[in-house]
Structure 1
Amino acid sequence: MSTQPSTFGAHAPEALDARALFATLAGLCGSFVAIGLARFAYTPLIPPLIQAHWFTASQAVTLGAANFAGYLIGALLGRPIAHALTNRHALRLLMLAATAAFFACAFPLSVSWFFVWRLTSGVAGGAIMVLVATSILPHVPPARRGFVSGMIFLGLGLGIAASGTVIPWLLRHGLRDTWIGLGVLALVLTAISWFGWPRGDAPAAPQHAAAPRAGHADSPRTAFALRLLYAQYAANALGLVPAMVLLVDYVARGLGHGAATGAHDWVLYGVAAIAGPIVCGQAADRIGFRAAWRVALLLQALAVALLAVSSQTWAILVATLVLGAFTPGVVPLALGRIHELVPHDHLEQRAAWSRATTAFALFQALGGYGYSWLFAHSHENYALIFACGAVALTLALLADVFLNRREA
């Protein structure tokens, strides 16, 4: 019998070997390019796009929404693309598509041209979000999956931080050079990740794992818990959107602190986002994903409620740090919760994560448009929008506490 390890960490369940670490790095690069940069780097580029007369204000906002629409499409198409190409080839292709979109956006040939490429970047982001972790985590020892998932989605936090730090520096060289610079960065990260993606599918589960068990996706208990998680993840999107969309505007115009203070607050949001996935992943490894998920819902609800009821500087800073950390931090927690509920069925893990990502993407888009309408028709009532987000997160927490009692 061969003594060579067939999967990552075969001889040391608690350790990560070189292949696992390389795959983790590839996952970080994927989330950085397709989510962190493709989505969050666009926000600070909207004013320069308008000032440079590339697009009108309404066109710039519409082009921003194209990425959200593409994200939803990508979440739906991620698994079919991987089925046709294999996970490794699909992830490589999607990284190239996201990279090409940056270079294409450097040339505003028309609104339609720009819309197509913003939509393409969103499709790549949604599909990568569905595939990236589920291609890597089955090869990682269970005790280290919280850490690895945190590292994978660290890319989201890096993208948020880059949107407040790297983009202003690139803009000194001009708007076109900024898009090209983002494309070069994405190309470098794509090259780094190229050989890091796992070659094969997840290792087969042990023979005894095929027996009926409570953690099988077909069991009523597990099916109910998964449906509840999808609903909670969707509610989490509704809770995060107000801060993602309005936090800077609230500080700058709502509180009258000015655009510079708003920009500094966004940088703080990004710094917290860098730490969020790692801290959440490590916490989940220690206390379990279910407990960490509940704590995340509670802290987010309190943070958004704090924005609704207080305009004190300390309250804004606390809320910014908490929400910045959990914007990417909830992703490894939700994914890890799925792995807890379906511990041995890798195919069902991927299907469940695809459904969860789709639910998040759908309600993120609905929340963005719904909150915008409510904001416009409530005479720019920031407190009302934040209160709605707090209610959504509170309902998600209460559902987890009370409805999950039937598991017991």
Structure 2
Amino acid sequence: MAHSALPRPVDRPRPVNRPWLALAGLTLGVMVTNGFARFAYGLILPAMKSELGWSYAQAGWLNTANALGYVVGAVLTLLLIGRVAPSQLFSFGLVATTASLLATGVEATMGWQTFWRIAAGVFGAMSFSTASVLTARLFPGDPKRNALAIAILFGTGGGLGIMLAGASLPLMLEAWGPSSWRFGWYIIGGLSVIAIPLGLWSARALHVPAPRNTATGGLPLRRIWRELAGYAGFAMGYIVYLTFLGAWMADQQASAGLIAGVWIILGVALVLSPFVWRGVLARHNSGRPLAMILTGIAVGSALPVVLPAGGAVVISAIVFGLCVFMAPGAITSFIRQNLPPASWAAAMSLFTVVFAVAQTIGPFTAGAIGDATGNIGSGLLVAACILLTGAALAAFQRPLD
């Protein structure tokens, strides 16, 4: 069926009452599914590694398990998006991810940890990919506000989660010792519970029927493969920094105060990133924004290893934070500017699947490299090279007619 034959309400999203409040609820959802469920682990990891006697590969495996769950969740979302409304998938994913976080602190065995890290990935993918679809409908016909809303969703959502985790977890773990790692999961799980009501309200405010014509066969895959490849490079590379930065700093004998400070700075940079990139996302409908963003992430990843002395790690956190969560924003903006609304959900789900599959490679591989070389910094440098390769591919992505 041609896109022009679709019902009018699907082609033209309706205006939303109180769109900024709805955006706040969606942003809190991203705080839970990204800032907490995926990246707070990097702060709890050193304590768990020390208390439970893990190697770097074992520690990296749990984020790989989370990424494998993300693959399953992304594929499920792609299959369900034509049958279940995005708002319902977002709501279910948000509540189930919160439950997974709370359950992670209950038991220390690797099997238990693996199960709940996978579960957090499955449910987080459902909520994350549909959050971007819902956000793209907030300001119909207003490219500038759309670009800003998309940037705020990813930057502020993830940034707020990292700020809250960075301000609480390292100091708590230093004061109470590595054996208190369980309370880290309870803290972020409790904060997630607080975020649920507004997130569910936003989903109801943006509820529309399940979109038609969402089969991926209707997407111009041959014309967008460079953007897909660039996003795969992003997925393989960025996760290494957020998984192992805390462990690398601990290996360098960094204090808990410095680790907390760097993560807070990282979170602040993430919150500010939408205002740095909104103009770029609004002006360009090619792969250029993604290429620029990936280059910045690569520089941020390599900087603390190349210049380990002085304030390089602080500069690294600023550069990395200003860029990292804008990659999903660049993808959402690219989809919105180049594809019809009826294809947005399927396209975002497809990009999420590619992202999820590629993301499984990073943490375990980087951990294995760290074990082999005796320095997890080697994994950070390999990740930077992968990110630069993705940037080069994305740079050649042209706009669609």
Whether TM-score is above 0.5 comes out as yes
Matches within 5 A, 1:197-212: 197=203, 198-201=206-209
- Which residue of 231, 234, 247 corresponds with 2:232? 234
Identity among equivalent positions (%) equals 23
* 2:37 alignment partner, SS class: helix
1:276 equivalent in structure 2? 273
Q: Write out aligned runs for 1:266-305 (5 A).
A: 266-286=263-283, 290-305=287-302
Unaligned stretches of 5+ residues in structure 2: 1-11
Instruction: Give the aligned residue type for 1:378.
Output: T
Equivalent position amino acid for 2:234 in 1: N
SS at match of 1:39: coil
Q: Would you say 1:146 and 2:147 are equivalent positions? A: yes
1:351 is aligned to 346
C-alpha distance in 2, partners of 1:64/1:300? 19
How much has 1:202 moved relative to structure 2? 8.5
Paired with 1:194 and 1:160, the residues of 2 have a C-alpha distance of 22
Contact 2:82 2:212 in 1 (8 A): no
- Please report the TM-score for the alignment, with normalisation by the length of structure 1: 0.79
Q: Tell me how far apart the structure 2 counterparts of residues 261 and 298 of structure 1 sit (CA, whole Å).
A: 26
For 1:375 and 1:298, the matched residues in 2 are separated by 23
Where does structure 1 lack aligned partners over 5 or more consecutive residues? 1-5, 10-16, 206-215
Alignment partner, residue 210 of structure 1: none
Amino acid in structure 1 at the alignment position of 2:131: V
Among candidates 374, 379, 401, match of residue 385 of structure 1: 379
Cα deviation code 1:191-225 (max 9, x no counterpart)? 112121112149999xxxxxxxxxx9968xx5334
Q: Deviation of residue 167 (structure 1)?
A: 2.8
Matches within 5 A, 1:130-169: 130-141=129-140, 142-143=142-143, 144-153=145-154, 154-168=156-170
Q: Is the 8 A contact 1:284 1:291 kept in 2?
A: no
Closer/same/farther in 2, CA of residues 313 and 38 from structure 1, 3 Å limit: same
After superposing on structure 2, the runs of 4+ consecutive aligned residues of structure 1 that deviate more than 6 Å are 202-205, 405-408
Q: Give the CA deviation at 1:80.
A: 2.7
Letter in 2 for 1:243: Y
1:368 and 2:363 matched: yes
Which structure has the bigger radius of gyration? 1
Q: Output one character per residue of 1:295-343: Cα deviation in whole Å (capped at 9) or x when no partner.
A: 223333343454453334344332221112222121111211122221x
CA distance in 2, matches of 1:71, 1:225: 25
What is the alpha-carbon distance in structure 2 between the residues aligned to residue 175 and residue 300 of structure 1? 29
Q: Kindly state the Cα deviation for residue 24 of structure 1 after the two structures are TM-superposed.
A: 1.2
> Which amino acid in structure 2 is aligned with residue 123 of structure 1?
V
Matched, 1:194 2:188: no
- The answer as to whether partners of 2:166 and 2:260 remain within 8 angstroms in 1 is yes
Measured on the aligned residues, the alpha-carbon RMSD in Å equals 3.4
- Structure with the bigger RCO (C-alpha within 8 Å, sep 6+) is 2
Q: Say if 1:299 and 1:203 are closer, same or farther in 2 by CA, change over 3 A.
A: same
Query: Closer, same or farther in 2 for the Cα pair 1:239/1:41, shift >3 Å?
Result: closer
SS in 1 for 2:208: coil
For residue 376 of structure 1, what is the amino acid of its counterpart? Answer: D
1:72: Cα distance to partner? 1.8
CA positional deviation for 1:40: 1.8
Deviation of residue 359 (structure 1)? 1.8
Distance in 1 of aligned mates of 2:108 and 2:247: 30
Contact 1:101-1:121 within 8 A present in 2 as well: yes
Aligned length: 377
Q: Is the 8 A contact 1:157 1:276 kept in 2?
A: no
Matched, 1:331 2:328: yes
In structure 1, what is the Cα distance between the partners aligned to 2:189 and 2:300? 35
